[in-house]
Amino acid sequence: MKYKKTSSIIREYTDSYSKLCTESCTVPKELYSQFGVKRGLRDENGTGVLAGLTNISSIQAYEEIDGKKVPCDGRLLYRGYDIIDLTRNFVQNRRFGFEETAYLLLFGELPNETKLAEFKDVLSLCRTLPRNFTRDVIMKAANADIMNSLTKSVLNLASYDPKAADISMPNVLRQSLMLISVFPMLAVYGYHAYNHYVKQESFYIHRPDEKLSAAENILRMLRPDMKYTELEAKVLDIALVLHMEHGGGNNSAFTTHVVTSAGSDTYSVIAAALSSLKGPKHGGANIKVVQMMQDLRKSVKDVKDEDEVKAYLLKLLNREAFDKKGLIYGMGHAVYSISDPRALIFKSFVEKLAKEKGRDDDFALYSSVEKLATQAIAEERKIYKGVSANVDFYSGFVYSMLDIPLELFTPIFAMARIVGWSAHRLEELTNVDKIIRPAYKSVAEEKKYIPMEER
């Protein structure tokens, strides 16, 4: 009873005083223009304000013609190599690309067979958790939010590392390789623990196989029978490659640079990056796409009728459907305009997997929404650049076809992006000069202190 009374008092207080918080925190929007502040560190056209330099990856969405920046088909380059060329090579040679791409991003060069084999061996040796860690950390206080579970596990790993605070290059590289290797275990085991203790389902823990790729091990650990098809593993592998890195300006990579610049340890830096990734505006966007498509199916009588589908999309934009946020999830990107190369690559694999899974109708609906959403946004919004499907539009659909639960959608993203974060951390440590500290201008008026008895 005491707990209920206490929680009731706290709830009433916070409900009442949150209004005061909102009032005191609000800054008039016109002041941002008045003082030339780039909201979200972006220009009016959505282009990010230049905040740093990197060798790791490059995003190209514009080309210069007659001295003017003109939108072009999007390109993504990892260490100077076009992501389209990389993925095409993996497919043509029927090999997994996660490990090879991870080597490229960390060390700046494509590995030969000997170096790649050595790298895979090291990752395999790192793919182990401290004794009783699964029981003592992951299984205790099981959480429905696997991103929170993953973050908790990463921070707890610091307790098992006698050199946790050492930020020398060899030690940070060791920690990075270990985290890249164990992220799938931390996330999948966290999901199984939640399923067992909270949802009362069967509990099983499958150890990774040292001979398998990252993608194969994820499916092996996730499924009760540890079975998967070659196409399933290859599609998941491509998904990991596409999500591995996306420039130093994306929210979680920038977080990595900011926290690293403060001199913090690897576990704290990666925990901060995870916290940044989990939001629906970043790594959680693919979940929103799947939920939006589910709502579309419930709301539209005939999903093959383009007029009905477009009418629903217009309702989304006018805040009359789904979550009433005015967004068509999976459409548009902070940088890309005409096309997101990751979405273009992914779409061909999505079609193949849809055929194998007997979900051609679902693929047709996604393709239809992709086309009609572009038209609807052009009609309803004043836009500074083109709008196209981004990688999140199809990734959620792929994960659902792979029978990956919704709770693991963003953690799958993290399993890939940990490579990019590690590369950015190593780069920041190499070039660090000053702590990252942008300026904020105070717009509060100065006030004379009022004694307590006069308030």
Helix (H) or strand (E) holding 73: strand 68-78
Rounded Cα distance between 353 and 356, Å, is: 5
Give the Å distances, CA to CA, from 222 to 123, 219, 269: 19, 5, 27
Backbone dihedral angles phi then psi of residue 384, each to the nearest 5 degrees: -90, -15
Give the Å distances, CA to CA, from 89 to 108, 120, 214, 231, 250: 18, 19, 18, 16, 27
Contact 401, 366 (CB under 8 A): no
**Beta bridge mates, 82:** 77
| 333 a catalytic residue | yes
Active-site entry in 237, 333, 362, 424: 333
Backbone dihedral angles phi then psi of residue 365, each to the nearest 5 degrees: -65, -45
- Quote the tokens at residue 231: 């196409």
Rounded Cα distance between 316 and 284, Å, is: 19
Active-site entry in 237, 340, 392, 424: 392
Helix (H) or strand (E) holding 59: strand 57-65
| 433 a catalytic residue | no
Rounded Cα distance between 77 and 246, Å, is: 9
Rounded Cα distance between 309 and 138, Å, is: 43
- Residues annotated as catalytic (active site), given as ranges: 333, 392
